[in-house]
Chains A and B, each alone.
Chain A
């Protein structure tokens, strides 16, 4: 897939001296769903705001569709739709008018049919004549999405799209993102809910302290950095792990009825067969066992904590 956003050595130092981005390099492919993960204050929003033209970069450059965001801002901004993290909506304008305003602002002529399609896709059609201030928080979020889609962007930035949103709306939103993906729109989302990235994204980038820690295909990331655990529920209480099992690194639970074995999913030799044989030799009996795989969230926490 060709690169649609090319970020090279992007650095941002705010007036107060805070270094929000430290020479970030990142390539986004055309038509993919990319999730940018990171704790609060990691630089996610700064990165998005620079690409969209709201914040000036200190150094480095960004190309969108081959155009420079500073010198050819008309080319780049016209392609991008942004749904910000906060919910700034007009108060008195109607939903329809504010969406029509957005479309015009981004240089597109009036197109009632397109606006209708967008409003229907986010279930706002019946609210089109309502003033924005009469809408609930979830509805306002939908308005912002509709505004961002009003000018038919090729790239959509969703900054924390489901923060403080109820389950139903979150599901709706995921549906909208998947539909956009099917239409060939590139979607870049930042989120705190790792589950969201796990559900939607094809590639994942992790950012912390203004630096990109890792960029990887989601499945590969989960395969490579993921761990599997085998938990054995013991028949009898176990006083201590016998020394003959030392090299398995087993963990005994506090109630002394569970043994946990962590193994690498990449390794060809997981050691499970040997473990079970050695357990029998040690006279440890178990009545149940289960395996679990680390989620993207576990991997994320791990990455952020170790800084890799």
Chain B
């Protein structure tokens, strides 16, 4: 194991994060606060409690998920896409590192950043609403699994993208609709039956539902199913990454 290499990549990526601290940390905090002002206070005051939880508190887990999914994808995809774009990726390709080590460095750093953002949002939210975390360990597990999975997903996206447009098209056209329709701001049970069924095809529903259960013990789907789906998504990403590395897809000609 080339520990120095993992450390070098990780450190390098974390340095990038702190160099762009406004974009990395301040932006998600600001947007979350805005969500609270708009959805929590303005609209939320007109919505009664959902399953015994005030609306403001109800959206906290969804908001955290929304942010870490978007941030994980954008961070991780950019981290590998940019070296590919500028050509500096040659150094990583010519280094005595295995793919696992490359992954550990890049995805590890991106996931760390996402966990930090998630935590910051949680703390920010606690200034606006009352939050109780019924199952902290499970909450941390969901948070970590989601961060790692979406960072992996972003990494795949960054390797696949061969232009700036492709880099942004998936987050905007696929991920954003799925997260907004995944129960960030509402409970699936509030939808008409047909839409409830359709929603079950949205993988994000499972992530948010499980994560919310770890806070308030109320969920749209069973928590075991949520956990299963999250792990399945993680495994799917790992399989894809393994295939990419094995074939050298868009990395080595």
What is the bound-complex CA distance between A109 and B86, given in angstroms? 26
Answer whether A107 and B87 are a contact pair too, CB < 8 Å, given A52-B94, A55-B252, A56-B253. no
Question: Which residues does chain A contribute within 8 Å of B11, judged by CB atoms?
Answer: 101, 104
B185 shortest CB reach to chain A, Å: 37
A residues 150-193 touching B (CB-CB < 8 Å)? none
Q: Are B87 and A54 within 8 A (Cβ)?
A: no
Contact of A105 among B86, B97, B248, B252 (CB under 8 A): B97
Question: Which residues does chain A contribute within 8 Å of B96, judged by CB atoms?
Answer: 73-78, 106-107
A residues 8-46 touching B (CB-CB < 8 Å)? 14-15
B residues 1-50 touching A (CB-CB < 8 Å)? 2, 4-5, 7-9, 11-12, 15-16, 19
What is the bound-complex CA distance between A91 and B78, given in angstroms? 14
Q: Are B93 and A54 within 8 A (Cβ)?
A: yes
Answer whether A77 and B88 are a contact pair too, CB < 8 Å, given A92-B19, A107-B5. no
Q: Are A105 and B91 within 8 A (Cβ)?
A: yes
What is the bound-complex CA distance between A78 and B2, given in angstroms? 10
Question: Which residues does chain B contribute within 8 Å of A86, judged by CB atoms?
Answer: 87
Q: Are B7 and A104 within 8 A (Cβ)?
A: yes
Answer whether A89 and B88 are a contact pair too, CB < 8 Å, given A55-B253, A105-B97. yes
A185 shortest CB reach to chain B, Å: 17
Question: Which residues does chain A contribute within 8 Å of B90, judged by CB atoms?
Answer: 54, 82, 84, 88
Q: Are A88 and B86 within 8 A (Cβ)?
A: yes
Q: Are B5 and A54 within 8 A (Cβ)?
A: no
Question: Which residues does chain B contribute within 8 Å of A108, judged by CB atoms?
Answer: 4
Residue of chain A at shortest CB distance from B253: A55
Contact of A54 among B7, B12, B88, B94 (CB under 8 A): B94
Q: Are B86 and A82 within 8 A (Cβ)?
A: no
Q: Are A106 and B95 within 8 A (Cβ)?
A: yes
What is the bound-complex CA distance between A92 and B88, given in angstroms? 13
**B170 interface residue (CB < 8 Å to A):** no
**B176 interface residue (CB < 8 Å to A):** no
**A274 interface residue (CB < 8 Å to B):** no
Q: Are A101 and B12 within 8 A (Cβ)?
A: yes
**B92 interface residue (CB < 8 Å to A):** yes
**A78-102 interface bits toward B, Cβ cutoff 8 Å, 1 = contact, 0 = none:** 1010101010111111000100111
**A53 interface residue (CB < 8 Å to B):** yes
Q: Are A56 and B248 within 8 A (Cβ)?
A: yes
Q: Are B4 and A82 within 8 A (Cβ)?
A: no
Q: Are A91 and B95 within 8 A (Cβ)?
A: no
B139 shortest CB reach to chain A, Å: 34
Residue of chain B at shortest CB distance from A53: B94
**A147 interface residue (CB < 8 Å to B):** yes
Contact of A77 among B4, B94, B252 (CB under 8 A): B94
**A103-120 interface bits toward B, Cβ cutoff 8 Å, 1 = contact, 0 = none:** 111111100000000000
What is the bound-complex CA distance between A73 and B102, given in angstroms? 14
What is the bound-complex CA distance between A147 and B91, given in angstroms? 9
Residue of chain B at shortest CB distance from A12: B253
A residues 102-153 touching B (CB-CB < 8 Å)? 102-109, 147
Q: Are A80 and B2 within 8 A (Cβ)?
A: no
Question: Which residues does chain B contribute within 8 Å of A147, judged by CB atoms?
Answer: 91
Residue of chain A at shortest CB distance from B102: A105
Q: Are A90 and B248 within 8 A (Cβ)?
A: no
**A41-81 interface bits toward B, Cβ cutoff 8 Å, 1 = contact, 0 = none:** 00000000000111110000000000000000111111010
Known: A93-B12, A101-B12. 9 other contacts (CB 8 A): A14-B253, A54-B94, A77-B94, A88-B86, A88-B88, A89-B86, A104-B4, A106-B5, A108-B4
Sample 24 A-B pairs with CB under 8 A, ordered by A number.
A52-B94, A53-B94, A56-B252, A73-B96, A74-B98, A76-B96, A78-B96, A82-B90, A88-B86, A88-B88, A89-B86, A90-B86, A90-B88, A92-B16, A97-B12, A104-B4, A104-B8, A105-B8, A105-B92, A106-B4, A106-B95, A107-B95, A107-B96, A108-B4
What is the interface of chain A, defined by CB distance below 8 A to chain B?
Answer: 14-15, 52-56, 73-78, 80, 82, 84, 86, 88-93, 97, 100-109, 147
In order of increasing CB-CB distance, the 4 nearest A-B pairs are: A104-B8, A88-B87, A77-B96, A52-B94
